[in-house]
Copies of this chain bind each other. A is one copy, B any other.
Amino acid sequence: MKRKKIPQTTIARLPLYLRHLLKLARKGVRIISSYELAEHVGTNAAQLRKDLSYLGEFGTRGVGYDVGELIRQISKCLGLTREWKVAIVGMGKLGPALLGYKGFEQEGFKIVAIFDKNPKKIGKKMGNLVVSDVTNLKEVIEKVGGVDIGIITTPASAAQKVADQLIEAGIRAILNFAPVTLEVPSHVFLRQVDLSTELQILSYYLTRPFKFPPPCGYCEANRDL
**A-side interface residues toward B, CB under 8 Å?**
5-6, 8, 11-12, 14-16, 18-20, 40-42, 77-80, 84, 86, 93-94, 96-98, 100-101, 103-104, 107-109, 148-149, 172-173, 175, 179-181, 183-184, 186-207, 210-220, 222-223, 225
Contact = CB atoms under 8 A, between A and B. Distances in A.
25 contacts: A8-B216, A16-B181, A19-B179, A20-B181, A42-B183, A79-B203, A80-B203, A94-B97, A103-B196, A104-B195, A107-B196, A107-B199, A109-B196, A149-B199, A175-B198, A181-B217, A187-B210, A189-B202, A189-B205, A190-B216, A191-B216, A192-B217, A192-B219, A193-B193, A219-B219
A194 B108 CA distance: 16
The copy count of this chain in the complex is: 2
Given A103-B179, A200-B14, A205-B173, A8 B213 contact: yes
A155 B78 CA distance: 24
